[in-house]
Amino acid sequence: MQDSTTTVPALTQTLGIDIGDRRSSCCLIGQGGELLLEEQTSTTAEALSRLFQRLDPCRVVLEACGHVHWISRLATEAGHEVIVANPREVRLISKSGRKNDRNDARTLARLGRVDPELLRPIRLRGESCRRSRALLHTRDQLVRMRTKLVTFVRGQVKSFGGRVPGGSAEGFHKRAGAHLPEALREILEPVLELLGNVAVKIQRLDREVARVSTERHPETEILRQVRGVGPVLALAYVTALETPERFTSSRTVGNYLGLAPRLYDSGAKTPQLRISKAGDRYVRRLLVNAAAYILGPFGGDSDLRRYGERIARGGSQRDRARARVAVARKLACLLHQLWRTGSVWDPDYNLNR
């Protein structure tokens, strides 16, 4: 999902919908704030279509959730204007002392009537990007599962006085079998078999990521010029931003992805705060992993690496962590610059020049 700042036309009625998994609360108010309709409806395509069809064109305010894409499409097809509220910004709902579905729908409707920008509207991604991200998230879940299973097997073997030699996670299921204590062999062999199946599935998804990147998102090839940026990060980055023209400056991308420090500038106090973590968590994690590679033994010499080394000069764990985040933020900006201009990556290129 992506932030949008487009100006919307004024409408005489505003419909707030608090979407539930089974039932949703609806509140329709007029131009002067008068209550025109308040009801509950099933969260199904049929029920919501009937609701949208019987109303005059109005502004429909939804809160971002798993159902929001298809509900937004139904409302738009019925001639309504749709505003998707950013749940991180609607504190009147999340922090309310009188929180229930009816009050949440009322709050959405009233905020949408007064000024939609108070909702920090989200622009929904297109179907192609959502399909690509579903592929990436499926792969990510399998990788996480593999990591947990590998850690589990290592811990069990260690508790019986054994040890599985180090190596890649991909080949762990082949390597670990010879090092299982006899007391655990019958118990852990099914886990190793499962790890083998998971490894095959991940390899298949990796091939699919490569195919999708080539056929649907050829711009990922530009991003993969940068050492440390692989097919997964390139595809995740492109589908998170969707188009480079959304950002007038590459330097704002780090803030969009939650890699810039939070701001608290009030009175005489301007403390140094942690990063906001307000953007795409998955892409942010991949960027930090890429930064760790750039700063590692195989990262090679580049302006990004030298920039991180200056920050990590103190040598403490905190300094190294700050360096990884700083390099991730600068990498996010660099990738946008390469994507926007289509230029060839120069390892010595400095965004601040």
Average pLDDT over residues 134-155: 97
What's the confidence (pLDDT) of residue 6? 46
Question: Are 24 and 109 found together in one domain?
Answer: yes
Tell me the C-alpha distance between 198 and 57, whole Å.
50
Tell me the C-alpha distance between 211 and 194, whole Å.
26
What's the confidence (pLDDT) of residue 144? 96
Give the residue from 189, 215, 241 where a domain finishes. Answer: 215
71 belongs to a structural domain: yes
8 A C-beta contact, residue 142 and residue 232: no
Phi, psi for 65 (deg, rounded to 5): -160, -175
- Structural domain of 45: 2-123
Question: Are 60 and 141 found together in one domain?
Answer: no
Confidence of residue 133 (pLDDT cuts 50, 70, 90): very high
Confidence of residue 305 (pLDDT cuts 50, 70, 90): very high
Tell me the C-alpha distance between 327 and 154, whole Å.
32
Confidence of residue 260 (pLDDT cuts 50, 70, 90): confident
Q: Which of 340, 206, 322 is nearest to 273 (CA)?
A: 322
Angle at 149 between CA 143 and CA 152, to 5 degrees: 145
The pTM is what? 0.84
Angle between helices 281-295 and 317-341 (to 10 degrees): 110
Average pLDDT over residues 39-53: 96
54 belongs to a structural domain: yes
CB-CB neighbours of 272 under 10 Å: 7
Give tens-digit pLDDT for 77-121: 999 999 999 887 776 665 665 778 899 999 999 999 988 888 888
Give the residue from 72, 102, 123 where a domain finishes. Answer: 123
Tally of structural domains, the chain:
3
Question: Are 301 and 336 found together in one domain?
Answer: yes
Give the residue from 215, 238, 257 where a domain finishes. Answer: 215
Tell me the C-alpha distance between 90 and 84, whole Å.
11
348 belongs to a structural domain: no
What's the confidence (pLDDT) of residue 117? 85
Confidence of residue 189 (pLDDT cuts 50, 70, 90): very high
Q: Which of 126, 11, 7 is nearest to 57 (CA)?
A: 11
Mean pLDDT over each residue of the chain, to the nearest integer? 89
Confidence of residue 333 (pLDDT cuts 50, 70, 90): very high
Question: Are 20 and 131 found together in one domain?
Answer: no
Give tens-digit pLDDT for 222-252: 999 999 999 999 999 999 999 999 898 998 9
Full 3-state SS string of the chain:
CEECCCCCCCCCCEEEEECCCCEEEEEEECCCCCEEEEEEEECCHHHHHHHHHHCCCCEEEEECCCCHHHHHHHHHHCCCEEEEECCCCCHHHHCCCCCCHHHHHHHHHHHHHHCHHHHCCEECCCHHHHHHHHHHHHHHHHHHHHHHHHHHHHHHHHHCCCCCCCCCCCCHHHHHHHHCCHHHHHHHHHHHHHHHHHHHHHHHHHHHHHHHHHHCCCCHHHHCCCCCCCHHHHHHHHHHHCCHHHCCCHHHHHHHCCCCECCCCECCECCCCCECCCCCHHHHHHHHHHHHHHHCCCCCCCHHHHHHHHHHHHCCHHHHHHHHHHHHHHHHHHHHHHHHHCCCCCCCCCCCC
What's the confidence (pLDDT) of residue 11? 75
What's the confidence (pLDDT) of residue 263? 61
pLDDT at 54 over 90: yes
Q: What is the CATH number of the domain that holds 110?
A: 3.30.420.10
Please report the sign of the dihedral spanned by the C-alpha atoms of residue 58, residue 63, residue 64, residue 67: negative
Question: Are 269 and 332 found together in one domain?
Answer: yes
